[in-house]
Chain A
Amino acid sequence: DIQMTQSPSTLSASVGDRVTITCRASQSISYWLAWYQQKPGKAPNLLIYKASSLESGVPSRFSGSGSGTEFTLTISSLQPDDFATYYCQQYHSYSRSFGQGTKVEIK
Chain B
Amino acid sequence: QVQLQESGPGLVKPSETLSLTCTVSGGSISSNHWSWFRQPPGKGLEWIAYIYYSGSTNYNPSLQSRVTLSIDTSKSQVSLRLSSVTAADTAVYYCARGDYGSGQIWGQGTLVTVSS
Contact = CB atoms under 8 A, between A and B. Distances in A.
Contacts of B98: 34, 46
Given A43-B109, A94-B61, A36 B46 contact: no
B51 to A, nearest CB: 13
A64 interface: no
A91 B99 CA distance: 9
A20 interface: no
A45 B45 CA distance: 12
A98 B44 contact: yes
A1 interface: yes
A62 interface: no
How many of chain A's residues touch chain B, expressed as a range?
A: 20 to 34
A34 B103 contact: yes
Interface residues of B, number: 23
Contacts of B58: 94
A75 to B, nearest CB: 20
B18 to A, nearest CB: 19
Contact of A46 (B45, B50, B102): B102
A95 B61 contact: yes
Interface of A: 1, 32, 34, 36, 38, 42-46, 49, 55, 87, 89, 91, 94-101
19 contacts: A34-B102, A38-B45, A43-B94, A44-B45, A44-B94, A46-B104, A49-B102, A55-B104, A87-B45, A89-B45, A89-B47, A89-B103, A91-B99, A91-B100, A95-B60, A95-B61, A98-B45, A98-B47, A99-B44
